[in-house]
Amino acid sequence: MPVLRAADVERALRNRRAARMDVDLPARFQAGDPVVTRTMNPVGHTRLPRYARGRHGVVDRDHGVFIFPDAAAAGLGKEPQRLYSIRFSARELWGTEASPREFVYIDLFDDYLEPA
pLDDT in tens, 61-74: 999 999 999 998 88
Q: Evaluate whether residue 103 is within a structural domain.
A: yes
Domain for residue 75, yes or no? yes
Going by C-alpha positions, the residue among 63, 67, 83 that lies closest to residue 75 is 67
Task: Report how many domains make up the chain.
Answer: 1
Domain that holds residue 101: 30-115
Residue type, 3: V
Burial of 95 (0-12, 13-18, 19+ CB in 10 A): exposed
Q: What percent of the chain has pLDDT over 90?
A: 69
Do the domain assignments include residue 11? no
Q: Say how far apart CA 44 and CA 33 lie, in whole Å.
A: 29
Q: What is the pLDDT of residue 43?
A: 84
User: Average pLDDT, stretch 76-92?
Assistant: 96
Q: How far apart are the C-alpha atoms of 19 and 33, rounded to whole Å?
A: 25
* Residue 95 within a domain: yes
Residue 86: give its domain's CATH number.
2.30.30.50
Do 67 and 17 contact (CB within 8 A), yes or no? Answer: no
Q: What is the end-to-end Cα distance of the chain in Å, rounded?
A: 41
Residue 18: inside a domain, yes or no?
no
For 9-44, the pLDDT digits (tens) are: 777 666 656 788 889 999 999 999 999 999 999 887
In a domain, 16, yes or no: no
Any residues with CB less than 8 A from the CB of 8 and at least 6 apart, and which?
A: none
Domain-located, residue 2: no
The answer to whether residue 24 is domain-embedded is no
CA distances from 7 to 12, 13, 22, 66, 73 (A): 10, 12, 28, 26, 25
